[in-house]
Structure 1
């Protein structure tokens, strides 16, 4: 079964609609030639190990709190905050509490 990606003009709910916010899985919302948007659900203690992507990214914390680590140190993102990172910068994530984040990646052409 193919993953459903948003069509142009289609609306996606980013916040949970009651129940357990983490029962919904992480999902790639859409991907085009130049842009990819992913909603990540991270239960407390969950990590994404150090990695990097070629393009610039933003990470917007929708719910909960995460620690975002780069070679410059650790920054704590809380709900409502957004972080920008240049492409090629190594980074990792740690959910300090149950969290939901929206990741936007500019894909190199």
Structure 2
């Protein structure tokens, strides 16, 4: 059994999303993305499916030339290989679930090269 508090040590950065691995299980990696209003994660994709949950706030989630307005409580599943991007419309906390085979550092790398 594993526990994490998605609100614990929560920080926002004016220039880029902040990524924290909450924990890993035998089959997933649970990650928190904290996005200050106006920050973006440029278009990227993964080889594996992901699940995205908006815990707090509001983001624009762009996928395949369409933008989805996602607010607190929304959850989505996205297949691997699908390009997507995120823009925080307000301070937002996002839970990202990766498969065990995916690399959490990939998410960190995407957040480090975002355009504020």
Shift >4 Å, 4+ stretches: none
CA shift, 1:30, in A, is 2.5
Q: Deviations over 1:1-35 (max 9, x none)?
A: xxxxxxxx231111358xxx535953012245642
Secondary structure of the structure 1 residue equivalent to 2:5: coil
Structure 1: runs of 5 or more not aligned: 1-8
The aligned residue for residue 43 of structure 2 is 50
Aligned residues: 98
Q: Which structure dedicates a bigger proportion of its chain to helix?
A: 2
Q: CA RMSD in A?
A: 2.4
Secondary structure of the structure 2 residue equivalent to 1:102: strand
The aligned residue for residue 92 of structure 1 is 85
Structure 2: runs of 5 or more not aligned: 103-116
Secondary structure of the structure 1 residue equivalent to 2:73: coil
Q: 1:22 aligns with which of 3, 6, 11?
A: 11
The aligned residue for residue 31 of structure 2 is 38
Are 2:10 and 1:11 equivalent residues in the alignment?
Answer: no
Secondary structure of the structure 2 residue equivalent to 1:94: strand
CA shift, 1:108, in A, is 4.4
Q: Which of these two proteins has the greater Rg computed from alpha carbons?
A: 1
Secondary structure of the structure 2 residue equivalent to 1:22: coil
Kindly tell me: are residues 23 and 108 of structure 1, through their superposed partners in 2, closer, same or farther at Cα, counting changes over 3 Å? closer
